[in-house]
Amino acid sequence: MKYALVTGASSGIGWHFAELLAKKSYSIVAVSNQSEKLADLKNKLEQDGNIKVETINIDLAQENSALQVFDYCSGRNLEIEVLINDAGIFFFGEAARVDPSRMKSMITLHILTPTLLCRLFGEQMIKRQKGFILNISSISAVMPYPGISIYGPTKAYLRHFTRALRTEMKLYGINVTCLIPGATDTGLYDAAKFKPSKLIKLGIMKKPEVVARRGLRALFKNKAVCIPGLLNKLVVILLPLIPNFIISTINRKTNVVRKNI
């Protein structure tokens, strides 16, 4: 039985990755720290199709979490053919003011854990000469903005790591793709403030199922990068061209607004 491992599978894009992969007859290893939602996903997918769902309730922001996930799969002889590194967290805050524990959690979740999962499961894929790895970066990786000075650089690491990993794994017939989504209608955003329905109509925000579908299509077609949406493709090209003084001006004005709230 072939398995796909999806981190962050209990909600958002990760949930839709799991659904789509199940429709492709993959059994699922769903990893998240939301036990009730994992149970909901397991019940839904096993009722809908002739597949199995293994759930791992774990905080992937812990340093040893990747090894625990790997040991779980190895101990049950689960052959992971597809690895989706989707788990992520998001918050605004200046680097010198962010709680150190939150900073460490984001760095571990976005950098250490997915890197180690690629290392551990990648070695098995090399032995089988078959496998698929999809790492989820972010459009903020193109130009980290003040206020997301931890989030953006961690996603930039994922973008560059995935590119290098793709070159290494190509020798063994393994597909490696980097998904770079823009704003997506998930729990990372406050719906009351951002009004997702209007942003989706304007093409500024994407539905998570759309992002997941395009990401998997790119992975199985062995594309190096997937950037869902024409607007996001333009942003990736144009954003790095913005002069730093403009960014500094915007940051200064938004700081004044925040202090007056």
pLDDT digit string, tens, across residues 57-72: 999 999 999 999 999 9
Weakly modelled stretches of the chain, pLDDT under 70: 144, 183-205, 240-261
Question: Are 11 and 37 spatial neighbours (Cβ–Cβ below 8 Å)?
Answer: yes
Q: What is the DSSP string of 199-218?
A: HHHTTSSB-HHHHHHHHHHH
- 182 three-class SS: coil
Query: What global pTM score does this model have?
Result: 0.86
From CA 177, how far away is CA 166, in angstroms rounded?
7
> Residue 91's pLDDT is what?
85
Residue 218 has phi, psi (to 5 degrees) of: -65, -40
User: What residues does 79 pair with on adjacent strands?
Assistant: 2
For the chain, which residues make up each domain, given as ranges?
Answer: 2-260
Indicate which residue of 26, 151, 157, 189 is catalytic. 151
The pLDDT of residue 246 is 59
pLDDT in tens, 42-96: 999 999 888 999 999 999 999 999 999 999 999 999 999 999 999 999 888 888 8
Q: Would you give the DSSP letter of residue 171?
A: T
In Å, what is the CA distance from 175 to each residue of 92, 156, 167, 227? 33, 20, 10, 17
Q: What is the pLDDT of residue 11?
A: 92
What pLDDT was estimated at residue 250? 55
174/176 Cα distance (integer angstroms): 6
Q: State residue 131's pLDDT score.
A: 98
- The tokens describing 171, both together, are 């020798």
pLDDT at 261: 40
189 is catalytic: no
Q: Which CATH number fits domain 2-260: 3.40.50.720, 3.30.450.30, 2.60.40.1180, 3.40.50.1820?
A: 3.40.50.720
